[in-house]
Amino acid sequence: MSKGLDLDELAAELADFDQPDKKAMRSPRDERIIAGFEEIQRFVDEHGHAPQHGEERDIFERLYAVRLDRLRALADARTLLTPLDHQGLLAGATETVPNSAEELDVDELMAELEGAIGPAEISELRHVRSSAEKQAAEEIANRDRCEDFDRFKPLFDQVQTDIEHGVRQTRPFELKAEITPGTWFIVGGQKAYVADVGETFTNAQGRTDARLRVIFDNGTESNMLMRSLQRALNKDEAGRRITDPIAGPLFSEEKEDGDQASGTIYVLRSKSDHPIVAANRDLVHKIGVTNLKVSQRVAGARLQPTFLMADVEVVATYELFNINRSRLEGLIHRVFERARLDIEIEDRFGRPCRPQEWFLLPLFIVDEAVERIKDGTIGDYRYNPQHAALEKV
């Protein structure tokens, strides 16, 4: 061999004869854990934060949060995943799952977690959308024409009118128990009426279920399963339950013997230095209804996003008797919808918030609206910002 041979050249020549490194073999359980962790990492890449608990969160984010807690708690999982944890997700303290998670279907939650800690197949962990969820989506999409829709059309019209006049409200869907005959929902952007519920049975997974007849506002119907509707409502960020009509008087003009005080309409001005507020100080008003003393309601305003993270000035109050507070507040906000202030602020944790109860209008308009409430005609009026006036629709 020549003494002048370059060692780097020699290494390059020998490299072709090297045996390739054998890829470390992982057990099926390790593969499942890694696949589940990668799902969480993709969520973080897409949303910019670790999955969090809380009933206001999407059900799948809540499942990811439970899964992450479980992986943090498993010592062998932490050892396996630490080299892959470029986002620092395992560094978080192991938490106890909050009570809000108990509202999830226990069987569905365990099915989601099984892949991370038990004998499920890899595909069950890789794809968060289970076959049952796919079936639910198909049941929502595959509908038949409702042959007797003329029977239900007046019901849909009345429900829409009730919503517009504050007689009914839309609220986030929470529990399967809310699905009963005669209940109303919004799913996939359509109103849905549960016309009939069949006999309860136990499915192959040991869970109770029932076949429904659901009528939709586009004249179609579906004989879907109750759990399919439940999953569709949980999956749909805009999914809502439509409440039953609220009974009772809207507003009593004067207090009479036996009347019970129900609360107060309050009107506030903000002392915020936000440019929009500062430039329109006399026109930017928060309108709300409370059963507390107004002084209690506004205590600590500077710490609450709903008060624009600033102190406020109480400029008007109106005492209520025999009133449904939530119904009245919804009605007032609907009347002034076109004047709602579109403003974004940061809460004390730096998270963006868009308060919904602030309006750009003069105080005398609120006085007029209260008079319309007293005489029962407020439902016929809307505020026109261009004319600064309540106009009959």
pLDDT tens sequence across 37-49: 888 998 888 888 8
Residue 232 lies in a domain: yes
For residue 99, the model assigns a pLDDT of 40
pTM score of the predicted model? 0.38
What percent of the chain has a predicted confidence (pLDDT) above 90? 21
Residue 284 pLDDT > 90, yes or no?
Answer: yes
Higher pLDDT, 116 or 29: 29
For residue 278, the model assigns a pLDDT of 92
Beta strands 144-145 and 220-222 are antiparallel
Number of domain units in the chain: 3
Residue 3 lies in a domain: no
Do 156 and 192 reside in the same domain of the chain? yes
Q: Which of 98, 128, 158 is the last residue of a domain?
A: 128
Q: Which residues contact 196 (CB under 8 A, 6 or more apart)?
A: 181, 212, 213
Residue 203 lies in a domain: yes
Residue 253 lies in a domain: no
For residue 314, the model assigns a pLDDT of 93
For residue 237, the model assigns a pLDDT of 84
Residue 250 lies in a domain: no
Do 73 and 108 reside in the same domain of the chain? yes
Do 287 and 380 reside in the same domain of the chain? yes
pLDDT band at 202 (very low <50, low <70, confident <90, very high): confident
- The token pair at 237 is 């960020």
Residue 70 lies in a domain: yes
pLDDT band at 98 (very low <50, low <70, confident <90, very high): very low
Do 353 and 307 reside in the same domain of the chain? yes
Do 383 and 304 reside in the same domain of the chain? yes
For residue 106, the model assigns a pLDDT of 41
Residue 263 pLDDT > 90, yes or no?
Answer: no
For residue 193, the model assigns a pLDDT of 95
The pLDDT tens digits of the residues spanning 56-73 come to: 777 778 888 888 888 888
Do 233 and 277 reside in the same domain of the chain? no
Helix axes 363-375, 325-335, angle to 10 degrees: 130
- The token pair at 389 is 């006036």
Do 336 and 279 reside in the same domain of the chain? yes
Do 157 and 71 reside in the same domain of the chain? no
Can you tell me the distance from the alpha carbon of 232 to that of 265, in angstroms, rounded to the nearest whole number?
37
Do 191 and 222 reside in the same domain of the chain? yes
Task: Give the 3-state secondary structure percentages of the chain, helix then strand then coil, rounded to 5.
Answer: 40, 20, 40
Do 120 and 230 reside in the same domain of the chain? no
Higher pLDDT, 174 or 62: 62
Residue 349 pLDDT > 50, yes or no?
Answer: yes
Q: Which of 94, 128, 162 is the last residue of a domain?
A: 128
The pLDDT tens digits of the residues spanning 141-152 come to: 567 889 999 999
Q: Which of 208, 242, 276 is the last residue of a domain?
A: 242
Do 226 and 164 reside in the same domain of the chain? yes
Domain residues for the domain of 43 are: 28-128
Do 123 and 145 reside in the same domain of the chain? no
Residue 41 lies in a domain: yes
Cα 381–383–385 angle (5° rounding)?
A: 160
Residue 261 pLDDT > 70, yes or no?
Answer: no
The backbone region for 219, taken as left when phi is positive above 0, alpha when psi lies in -120 to 50, beta otherwise, is left
The pLDDT mean for the chain works out to: 78
Quickly count: other Cβ atoms within 10 Å of residue 247's Cβ.
Answer: 7
Residue 281 pLDDT > 60, yes or no?
Answer: yes
For residue 287, the model assigns a pLDDT of 92
Helix axes 226-235, 59-73, angle to 10 degrees: 80
> Which of 10-14, 118-122, 249-253, 312-316 is least confident?
118-122
Residue 4 lies in a domain: no
